[in-house]
Amino acid sequence: MARNLILSILVISGLMWIISCRKSVSEDFSNQPVVESYLLPGEKVTVKISAESPYEVNATSEKDINKLQVKIRYLGVWYSLIPMGDGVYKDTTGIIKIIPDSTYKLLFSYNNITISSSTIIPGKPTSVTQSVTQVKIKQFDPDNPSWTQPPDPIKITFSNGDESYYFLTVECMDSIKVPIFKDSIPDNDILSSQPMIGTEIYIQPMSIRYFGKNRIVLYHINPEYSTFFMQQNSTSQDYQEPPTNVVNGLGIFTGINTDTLYLSVVRKY
C-alpha cells in the first residue's frame, strides 16, 4: 500500500540514526533487537525486527531472526505473527483489527531476554480542512532566475482538543513527475512537516517537490513517535541514548491514524 511506502521512507533514516549512535559506544555493547512497527487502521499488523551490532544491522543470522515467536495482544488475547522473511512478521489473516483508542502489546524473546512494548491507536483526524485545493506556480529555473510572487501558504486545519501530536506529508501521485525547480532531483520526493501540537499546519508552495496531483496525508501520532522523529533529525554530533518505547530493545512500536487530502499544483506560464 502507498501509505506503507510513505511510512517506510519516513523512518529508515531514524533506524539508521539509532544504529549509528550505538556504534560510538560499542565498548559496553550488548546485542539488542531493533523493532519497527506502525499500527494503522485498515492495515494488517506488521512488525520488522533487525539485529543490532556495533558495526552492522542483521548481525544475527537470517535463520535466527526469522525464528522468533512474535506475539500481539489484542482484546485480551495473544496472537502469533507469521514470519515472512528478512525479519518481517505479519498478521496474514487480518484477524487483529486496528481500532482507534485500543491498546496493543508486543511480546517476543530475543537471546533469552523478554522484549515488550505497548501502544494506543490514536483517533482519526477530525474536522480536517484545507484552504485551497489548487495552486498555480511558475517553474523556477536556476539558470535564468526571475522573482515572482509565490502563492499564499496552504493552510491545513483540524481539531485537537486533547493537544496531541500531528504532522503531514506531501507526495506527488503522477507517474511522470515534473519538478517545480527545473531539472532538480530532490533528495526526498516526499515533503514532511515536523510533529507539532496545534490545530493548523501550513504548507509553503515552493517547498512542494512536483507539479501535478499531490496527496497530503495528515498523521495523528503518539508522543513516542514524535520523540523518535524529532531526535533522529537532531544535528547534534554528541552521543545520546536513542529514543525508544521498546523494553530491552530499540526502535519503535506505535499506533498512528491518518486522513488524506489532495492538492493540484498547476504549472503557471
Q: What is the pLDDT tens value at each position of the chain, 269 positions in all?
A: 545 544 544 444 455 445 545 544 444 445 789 999 999 999 999 999 998 654 444 445 555 899 999 999 999 999 999 999 999 999 999 999 999 999 999 999 999 999 999 999 999 999 999 999 999 999 988 777 777 788 999 999 999 999 999 999 999 999 999 999 988 888 888 999 999 999 999 999 999 999 999 999 999 999 999 988 777 655 444 545 678 999 999 999 999 999 999 999 999 98
End-to-end distance of the chain based on CA atoms, in angstroms?
35
* pLDDT number for residue 68: 96
CB-based contact 216:205 (threshold 8 Å): no
Hey, what's the cell of 155? Answer: 493552510
What's the pLDDT score for residue 18? 52
Q: Classify residue 27 by its DSSP letter.
A: G
Domains and CATH numbers, the chain: 2-120 (2.60.40)
Distance CA 20, CA 38 (A): 22
Q: Which three cell numbers stand for residue 35?
A: 523493532
Task: Supply the pLDDT for residue 63.
Answer: 52
- What does 203-243 look like in DSSP terms, one character per residue? E-GGG--BSEEEEEEEEEE-HHHHHHHHHHT----S--PPP
Is the pTM higher than 0.75? yes
Helix (H) or strand (E) holding 158: none
